[in-house]
Amino acid sequence: MGANSSSIDSNSANGSNHPPLKTKLEDIPEACAALILSYLDPPEICKLARLSRAFSAASSADFIWDSKLPSNYRYILEELLAMSIAGMGKKDIFAKLSRPNSFDSGTKEVWIDQNNGGVCLAVSAKGMTITGIDDRRYWNHIPTDESRFGIVAYLHQIWWVEVDGELEFQFPAGTYSVFFRLQLGKFTKRLGRRVITNTEQVHGWDLKPVQFQLTTSDGGCVMSKCYLDNVGTWVHHHVGDFVVKDSAAMTKLKFSLMQIDCTHTKGGLCVDSVLICPISLAKELRSS
């Protein structure tokens, strides 16, 4: 009884018989909401923006996205993609870069990782020089939805295998990894299921290893070797890593895949693309 009386007296003293109002998310000042969001990663920002109007409005503030964008975002949009960013908010720029953007006649793509804003690039098989690619006795291009470029190069049989590519790009400072995405065996779909075919053409890869090489414009050079055995499975084969110290400078990369031992033929190889990404993302590829 005493507790009830105390509660009634307290409400009466406030001049109201109703319980005190509770603070809601909408009551948070937009500036405070924006400051909170600036400490979060992009996926977390998007989740909070769906919770209330205050966070939704605050999520468009430019200063939130400044630190999420890579240092070379102007170079990518204005010089590489020939786009004007006049009037674009930083949130819109981040959204644009989070999607794959093709360049160099569609043979290359650039995008940023949605979690940390790291810059990634991919070079298609058509964007590289492949020995014998114009002779259909050796190679041909196969359309597929398993490639981000919609097409891969397939090797029937050849004595000398050499795939060369190069890229010049303004990378943000950091350490990057380079991978070749390869598969042994031709594939197709039957009744909606993935089926590996022409496995009898897969040969020669267990006799000698494939050699990968990466060189950079600052004189760096790394090489690695491995035997290919991934029949029916796409694998990112690590070529090497490189370090960018000056984010304002252009970095030129040359990368290659070779198996040039002419004592035996090789066949049944699918070449999809070369991937270049920050080393923090590369760890996931190596463990997969």
* Whole-number pLDDT of residue 2: 45
What integer is the mean pLDDT of 122-145? 96
Highest mean pLDDT among 1-10, 101-110, 197-206: 101-110
Please report which confidence band the pLDDT of residue 22 belongs to, taking 50, 70 and 90 as the band edges: low
* Whole-number pLDDT of residue 5: 45
d(CA 9, CA 17): 9
Q: Is the pLDDT of residue 21 over 70?
A: no
What integer is the mean pLDDT of 31-55? 77
Q: What percent of the chain has pLDDT over 90?
A: 67
Instruction: Provide the whole-model pTM.
Output: 0.84
Highest mean pLDDT among 136-140, 183-187, 194-198: 136-140
Buried b / exposed e over 180-204, threshold 16 CB at 10 Å, is: bbbbbbbbeeeeeeeeeeeeebbeb
